[in-house]
Amino acid sequence: MKNSVKYFFVCLVLSCIACKKEQPAVVYSPIFPISGEWHTRVFHEDGSSASTNLFTLSTYNTSDNLSNVAWFKLSTAAQPFGLLAKVNIDLQNRTFVAGEYKNTLAVPAASTAVTLLEGKILLNASTQPSKAVADSIYVRYKTAVNGKIYIVKGHRRTQWPEDQK
C-alpha cells in the first residue's frame, strides 16, 4: 500500500513538472520569408496556361546557410519549365536577383541556363479558401531548354486541406 501511495505522488509530481506553459522559440531559416513551399501555376508570357497542373515550388536555404542565396526548385523535369537553381536573393526587399543561373534539372543536360528576369514575395497578399492569409510569389524566367519565358504565380502552402486544390 505504501508503495502505491509513493508511486501516485511520484506520478503526480512528474506530471506537474512536465506541464510547461512555455512555447519553444521558432527558429527561422536565414532566408525567411523567401524560404518555403509554394503552390503555384505556370503560365506562358502571354498569360495562357503552360499546364493545368498545380506545381509545388520550393525555395530553401543552401548548406552554406547564407542570407543572400537560395535554392529555387520547380521540380518537373518532364516539363520544359522545370528548374533547380541556386539563385541570389535580396532578403530585405524579398526579391530574387535577376540574372543567369545554372539549371541543374535541365533536360537535355547541355541546356543548363535559366535566366531569372523577375521574382518577388508579397507578404500576406493572398486569402485562401480556408480564410487563411498567405504570402504570394511571382517569378518570371526564361529557360535555355526551349527559349520561352514562363511566369510562376502562387501562394505559400498553408497545409489546410481546402487550400490544397
Its domain, for residue 107, covers 36-163
Residue 71 located in a structural domain: yes
Phi, psi of 15 (to 5 degrees): -70, -35
Nearest-angstrom CA–CA distance, 122 and 131: 17
In the numeric block, which cell numbers belong to residue 129? 479558401
CATH of the domain at 97: 2.40.128.220
User: Is the pLDDT higher at 63 or at 108?
Assistant: 63
Residue 7 located in a structural domain: no
The number of domains in the chain is: 1
Residue 12 located in a structural domain: no
Cβ contacts of residue 112 below 8 Å, gap of 6+?
102, 103, 104, 106, 144
Residue 14 located in a structural domain: no
Confidence category of residue 15, pLDDT binned at 50, 70, 90: low
Residue 29 located in a structural domain: no
pLDDT (mean) for 67-88: 80
What's the half-sphere exposure (Cβ side, CA atoms, 13 Å) at 42?
Answer: 20
Residue 21 located in a structural domain: no
Residue 31 · residue 61 · CB < 8 Å: yes
Q: Which helix (H) or strand (E) holds 14?
A: helix 2-18
Q: What is residue 110's predicted lDDT score, i.e. its pLDDT?
A: 54
pLDDT (mean) for 68-90: 81
Residue 18 located in a structural domain: no
Residue 1 located in a structural domain: no
Q: What is residue 99's predicted lDDT score, i.e. its pLDDT?
A: 94
- At residue 77, does pLDDT exceed 60? no
Q: Is the pTM of this model over 0.85?
A: no
User: Is the pLDDT higher at 60 or at 24?
Assistant: 60
